[in-house]
Structure 1
Amino acid sequence: MRDDEWEDFLWSVNNFCDNHDIVVPNLTACYVEDDMKHLKTQLDHYKLDVFKDPKFKDVDSLPELCRLLVETKKSMIYFIIDRLICLVLNLPVSTAATERAFSGMKLLKTPLRNKMEHEYLNNVMILYIEREIAHEIDIDYIIDRFDLLKNRRLRLK
């Protein structure tokens, strides 16, 4: 998905959001001082509005809060708060992937392998990070396939 399918996936998510009137926040946008002023105002109104709304009474998690904000269309009113919640919900996923990659690099990039080319290191890192998938690969099957390719070339000559 990282190499070939990301653009298609992102397009389908944006298309889904457009079809269901879901605002897609720009998570790469810069936040300036005006946003901080708006945040303070939105928080003040949020305390008065959402805390008194019975629909929000039993909310006990951020994903549930995010879902209710969208369902009640309050995510449009409190757009900066909604943006912050989205960022917080995405943080553990992006942090975990980065930590996993650096841990893998520490194991793979030893002094003996220090002169490894970037492309080869990238391929080895992907195998290490996605090792659950890699363990499912039948190595004997791959070896047999390559062996058949070699024999086929010899037969053609």
Structure 2
Amino acid sequence: TPNIAVALRILFTLPVSVASGERSFSNLKLLKNDLRPTMSQNRLSGLALISTESPIAKNLDFTELLKDYASIKNQNNSVNINYFNL
């Protein structure tokens, strides 16, 4: 019946969505430990994103990143450069 097919589709998709959420919380717990109690929310969010998206982070070209950072004249300005091709 159609209802059973819909129920099975929902059942098979739930573990995938739950696993990614659990992985994110696991990464966050590892990042925010007793050694980093004064970490700002912005830095914690950035580290959590890099940790969760580690395959993308491993493909970053740090040479290009450093060249762009060095070319900024006023380093007091915030740097928002998108290196992720999303």
Query: Which residue of structure 1 lines up, in the alignment, with residue 26 of structure 2?
Result: 103
Q: Which segments of 5 or more consecutive residues in structure 1 lack a partner in the other structure?
A: 1-45, 47-77, 152-157
> Greater helix percent: which structure?
1
TM-score (norm 1): 0.42
| Rg larger for | 1
Indicate which of 113, 127, 133 corresponds to 2:50: 127
Mapping 1:16-31, distance limit 5 Å = none
**1:149 maps to 2:72:** yes
Residue 100 of structure 1, CA deviation: 1.0
Residue 110 of structure 1, CA deviation: 0.9
Indicate which of 64, 84, 106 corresponds to 2:7: 84
Query: Which residue of structure 1 lines up, in the alignment, with residue 59 of structure 2?
Result: 136
TM-score (norm 2): 0.71
Moved over 3 A (4+): none
Identity of aligned residues (%): 32
Root-mean-square deviation (CA, aligned residues, Å) is: 1.8
Total equivalences in the alignment? 74
